Each structure stands twice: as C-alpha cells, then as structure tokens.
Amino acid sequence: MGGMKTATRLLVSAACSVLVLGLLLSLAASLGADVNPGDIVAALRGAVPLLVGTYALCQLGQALARAQRARVLLRASLDGAENGAAQQPEPPRSRVPGLFRMLLVTFVRGACADMLPARIGELSYVAMLNRGCAVPAADCLSSLSIGLLFDFLALLAVLAVAVPAAAQGLSLVGSMVVLATVCAAGVALLFFALPVAAAWKWERFALFRWRPAAALVKLARDVATAVVAVRRGRVAGRVLALSLGVRAAKYAGLYALFLAVTRPLWPELSHAPVSAVLVALIAAEGAASLPVPTFLSFGSYEAGGLAALTALGFPAGDSLVAMTAMHLLSQVVDYSLGGLAFLVFSWCAPGAPEKPDRKAKPIQHSAFSIQHFLPLVLSILFLFLSLLFAAWQARAIRKRGRLTAPPKGEAVEPTAAEAAARDAMMRVFGGRIVWSSNRSGLHDLWILDGPGAQPRRLTRSGYTDTYPRFSPDGTKVCFSRSKEPWVSQRNFDKWDTWVLDLATGEERLVATNAYQASWCAASPYGSIATDGLCFVRDGSGGINGARRLFFLPSPGVCGPGDEEELALDGAQGAYVTLPDARDFGASDLELCLTLRGARRATVRASAGLYEKGPYHVKDVAGGCQMVFRGPNGAVAWIDHPGRMKNAIYALDNRRGAAPYVLLDAPEPWSHEYFPRFAADGRWLVYGASTGGHEQDSADYEIFLWDTADTNTPPARLTFHTGNDCWPDVFPAPAD
C-alpha cells in the first residue's frame, strides 16, 4: 500500500513538472523564441568537461563546509546539555560523527532535498544521524533548523553585497526585505519563542496527555534545550563563516556549470555578468523551494531562472534551454555523489556505541587545536581556489572579445576642412585603400579606389570578413573570413583565408583554419601574381592556444591545404600573431610579428625558410602590430605611451638605432591602431579612435599620412560611427 502511494506521488510530481515545462515552452514560443528540445541534448553533449568537473569539486567543498557546520552545532548542543546536568547514557562527544561520516550524510541530504516539495527531503539528515549515528533526534532537528536559518542569513549577505552592484536594473529590494523578514522571524521563533513555549505546562490540557501529543511536547522541549545549548555555546561566528563558505562554494560551482552549458551554444549568455547569472541562480533556487509538487524541482527551477534572465534582457528560448540543461547536469552530478555516499554510509554503518571508561580522566579539548580548525581551513582554501578558477574562466571569456556583433553605426558628414584634407591627400596619393567595416551589419571589405571615389563594398558573404592585405601587384586581396556569421577578431579558432580578385570579384578559399594572412612580397616560388602567403593557425581550439605560423607558396594555384609548410612555432610558451613578411632580396624571408602568452614581445625574425632552416628571433620592443616600413627593413609598431595611450613607434634598420615615436596624432583621434605602410615606405594608413580600444567594435576611423610631408597632419578618410579596422594601402604606380 505504501509503495502504491509512493508511486502515485512520483507520477503526480512528474506530471506537474511536465505541465510546468510545457507552459514555459509555450511562453518562450509566444515571445518569438524557437525552442527545440534537441538543443537540450546538444547542450548536454557540448558541455565543457573541465567546468563540469569544477562544479563537482565545488559540491565537495560545499559539503565539507556543511558537514563541519553540523558538527559544530551538534557538539555545542550535546556539550551544553551535559554541562546543564542533563542525564545522558554516555558522554555526548561520542555521538558527534566524524567529518567523513558527516560528509556522507551531507551528500545524501543534498540528493534527497529535491525529492519532495518544500525541501522535505532535508529530513533525511535527521533519519541518517539518528538511526545511523545514534544522535538524538532533538539535536538533529536543532542543528538542521539552525543550519537552514544561517543559510538564509548567508543568502541575505550575498544579496546585500554582491548582487545590487550590477543587477542590470532588476530590483532586488523586495526580495531582500522578504528574506530579511524571514531571517528575523526565524531568529525570534527559534531562539526565543520556542524555549518560552516549551517551558509552558502543556500537561494541564487533556489533549497533551494523549500519548502522541505528549511525545510531540517532549520532542519540542528537547529541541528547545538543544537550541538554548547552542545559543550559550557561542558558536554563531563559526557557523556564519561556514555558512558563507557554503554559499560561496555553491554559487561558484553553479556559475561554472552555467558556463559549461552556455559557452558552446549561447555565447551571449556565457558572456553575461557574474552578477546577472547569480540573480538567475538565486531565483531558480527560490522557485525550486516553493511547495509545488514537481519532480526533482524540474519546471519550478527553470521558471525561476527564466524569469530572472528574461527580466535582465536575455533571449527567452536560449535561457530556458540553458537552465534546463544546467539543471539536468547538476542533478546527475548531485545524485551520483549522493547515491555513492549512501552506499558507503550503509556499508560502514556503526555498531553499538562503546561504553565509556567512567574512571578515566576526561580529555581536555583545546579550543585552538589543529584538529578542530583543519577542516575549516581546508574548506576555505578549497573555496578560494574554486573562486579563483571561476574568476580566471570569466577573464578568459572576456579576452575572447565580443560574443555578439556590435551596432553597425551610421554615417556622419565631414566638416569642410576634413573633406578638403581628405581630397587633397587622396589626390597626392592616387592609390587604393582597403579595410574591414561593419557599416553594413557584419564586417565586410570596403575599398577607396582613388581620388574622388566613395567607399565601395567588396564582399557580401554574411560572415565576418577582416584583415585584408593587397597582393604585391595590387590586383588581389587576401583576407580572413569567419566560419560562423559573427566571430570576434580576438578568437583565432574559427577563420579561413580567402583571396579576392579585384578585377573579377571572384573569391577563392585558399587555406582552412587560417587567420591573419599576409603576402610574402617577391617570393622566389613563382611570379608576382602567385606570391606566397603566411598565416596564423590555432591548433588547440582556444584563445590561448598553440598559434603557429604557416607558409603557403602558391595560393592562386594550389587548393586548401596544398603545400603548406610550418614556418614558425611559438617558443617558450609564446604564440604567434599579426605576421608581416617581406623578402629584401636575400635568400631568407624576413618576418615581423607579435608574440603573446608566456613571452610577450614585438619581434623580428629571419630564417632560411626557402631552405627550411631555423629561424633567428630578435626582440625589438614591447607593444604589438609590428609591420615593415619600406624596402630597407625598418619597422614600426603600436606601443605606449601616447596622447591617448597609443602611439606609432619606429626603428630604423641601422646599427645602434633606438626606437622613437613616429606618429602621435593630435586629439581627439589619437588612439592609433592597425598601422600599415606602402611597399616604398612613404604612405602610412592606420586606424584611430577617440579612446575606445576593442579592435572590432570601437569607433575607429581610417587615416592616411604622407611620411614625406610630416608638416601635413594625417587626413581622415572614413566618416562613420561603426567599426572600421585593419586597413591596407596600395599607392598608384609610378609614372
């Protein structure tokens, strides 16, 4: 009969979960979201294993803190009862379980808490301690209730300190007031009202002389005695510190699991501020605790998280699927740990308690013993390492750049002086400027064909096209095209190299998984029309991967992957970026590039690539984006300081030369970036912003400067509030 009731209750709970999830799917669909259950499977399959493992480790840290907190509370109640002359059949300390056994109980409690609504599963803690460890039920209930109360106090601290600072406009004042009221009521009822009520003479009433009622009165009095003993034990500080540790480990683990699920499929969610994710996690936890008969809190948990994420402006469909996948993963981990802990607890259940030696001298326990504080110290250390790892993961995400395309901006009208300076500079220059711009939505290639010309769009792929470079004869442009519609230019992992024929408009894929390609001028491999390319490849699939430099001899003849040669590997933990290659008439190819990682430097390299000999790498300076400056081997790069942090520095190719500032443009357009010189070294094209730095989203404008006429300032060529980046220059042929 009992089995039938249990089965019926489970079926009702499962039906409620299906109903709530169905309503949430309908709500997301009504908001225009295309929710596919297959996305949940994809999220589970694509979850980052390292972050899932981090969640499991944080669960271990949380359980350690909970277990130690329970032991502190039990010791205080049992010791207080003995000191108050309570009759105990054996010394109370013998009933305080060890840390390992309490850890097992804590894992089982965590697994059982969601099995019944309103967290009734928490009572498994009482059953296991009472039946398996011979701890009096009153002490179990007192430690459970006090622990839950301090959980609420720790949550109130999280809401009061961490969330309001950056909750993106979602007001939490009401939640904080409700929670503070619950905490105040809990303290008053548990520590004051309960002892007073338990002291009344309930036996005067006939109802409480009835055996079941009398048993409840006795249990309430025992619990009140235990609570008073804890209050007199002065352990509130330690209990609060451990409760804060529980919260820190819990939310650090859940944040890691949130990243594990969202990073592969929903970059906008994975890039959400930590505070916004924390709001969603707290809301989901609160909804799961409501007395709604859902199965393992499925449906109620997702409803709370969905409400918070959509209120913070995130897509409803993605938020719902992400929260569901995250909930599934967390349940798998929690129930695996809880089931294993239950098996171990059952296998090593204690026998009858040993009788104490009444004649033996009582052991004096020092309040400052190492054994007393070691679990707490280890828990705090573990929590610190978990939070440090979570911070490192958040930093790594930010280093990947924007996860959504920036606004495309709008055209602005140049002033009369700006238009005159542009036209005068272009008349003297007479050549072409190519660059990448998002003014049409995603980044495409744009070109200025000569004096009097207007910017003209070259590519319309629907993907991110960037890093264009003219071929040595100016008839072609190599560029990087993303594998997905939007990829940040900080992410080296999702790009191919293409070549565009300017005369015909034909686009040709020449290298896969290849980024930041640059022509190798005057290559001995063939005619000038088939000059080789060098490009960067990230072999690890990550932002800090092993980026290496490859060489492709004949991009106009060979197919993707044909005849590629490894030209330069990252040395001493460094990886290669932003290559520029030239051949100055010798048999060796000259490179200038930037190294990042364990070694950060702007370097120049020379090697017998054509003979496949070793490279010789020479550090030039710090900074980045080093390029060759003319046919004599001089170089230039971006470095600090400058009027707005950046300036263009240069180094001549002569013995004993020292770096100097070549250009620090006047404000407001003085944050220089993307320098590029014509082959003869006379013309410099670059980007500049008024202070924004992000290369593919800040408002950079393209400028042209005649280095042979340093008295004339650079001329602004573009007038658009979108992002214009990575220009290249090809001057008019000499008469």
- Which domains, and CATH codes, for the chain? 48-85+93-258+333-349+372-398 (no CATH), 416-730 (2.120.10.30)
pLDDT at 501 > cutoff 90: yes
pLDDT at 388 > cutoff 50: yes
pLDDT at 611 > cutoff 70: no
Q: What is the pLDDT of residues 313-337, one digit of tens each?
A: 667 677 777 887 888 888 888 888 8
At residue 66's C-alpha, the angle toward residues 60 and 69, to 5°, is 140
Q: Could you tell me which of 491, 419, 435 has the C-alpha nearest to residue 724?
A: 435
> Which single residue is written with the structure tokens 């060529």?
717
Element (H, E) at 390: helix 370-399
Assigned token pair, 708: 């042979």
C-alpha pair distances (Å), 213 with each of 194, 217, 221, 230: 16, 6, 12, 26
Dihedral angle over CA of 51, 55, 61, 64, nearest 10: -150
Which ranges of 400-444 does DSSP label H, i.e. alpha helix? 416-429
Average pLDDT over residues 48-66: 88
State how far the Cα of 120 lies from the Cα of 138, in Å rounded to an integer: 17
Most confident option among 52-66, 122-136, 252-266: 52-66
State how far the Cα of 149 lies from the Cα of 154, in Å rounded to an integer: 9
Classify 299 as helix, strand or coil: coil
Average pLDDT over residues 694-699: 91
State how far the Cα of 286 lies from the Cα of 45, in Å rounded to an integer: 28
* pTM over 0.95, yes/no: no
Spatial contact of 732 and 429, defined as CB atoms under 8 Å apart: yes
Q: What is the pLDDT of residues 203-253, one digit of tens each?
A: 666 666 677 777 777 888 888 888 888 888 888 888 888 888 888 888 888
Assigned token pair, 412: 């602005």
Which ranges of 289-369 does DSSP label H, i.e. alpha helix? 300-311, 316-347
> Which single residue is written with the structure tokens 């790009």?
495
For residue 297, the model assigns a pLDDT of 62
At residue 249's C-alpha, the angle toward residues 248 and 253, to 5°, is 115
What DSSP assignment string belongs to 225-245? Answer: HHHHHHHHTT-HHHHHHHHHH
For residue 3, the model assigns a pLDDT of 47
Average pLDDT over residues 626-651: 89
Average pLDDT over residues 627-642: 88
Binning pLDDT at 50, 70 and 90, where does residue 22 land? low
- 712 or 44: which leads in pLDDT: 712
For residue 207, the model assigns a pLDDT of 67
Binning pLDDT at 50, 70 and 90, where does residue 89 land? very low
For residue 81, the model assigns a pLDDT of 55
C-alpha pair distances (Å), 255 with each of 30, 248, 261, 717: 28, 11, 10, 45
Residues in CB range of 275: below 8 A, 6 or more apart: 162, 163, 165, 166, 167, 168
Residues in CB range of 362: below 8 A, 6 or more apart: none
For residue 416, the model assigns a pLDDT of 95
What DSSP assignment string belongs to 574-627? Answer: EEEEEEEEE--SSSSEEEEEEEEESS-EEEEEEE-TTTT--EEEEEEESSEEEE
- 594 or 665: which leads in pLDDT: 665
Binning pLDDT at 50, 70 and 90, where does residue 555 land? low
Percentage of the chain with pLDDT > 90? 22
pLDDT at 687 > cutoff 60: yes
Average pLDDT over residues 161-186: 60
pLDDT at 376 > cutoff 80: no
pLDDT at 155 > cutoff 80: no
- 271 or 451: which leads in pLDDT: 451
Spatial contact of 470 and 454, defined as CB atoms under 8 Å apart: no
Least confident of 129-143, 365-379, 460-474: 365-379
Q: What is the residue-averaged pLDDT of the chain?
A: 76
Phi, psi angle pair for 75, to nearest 5°: -65, -40
pLDDT at 31 > cutoff 50: no
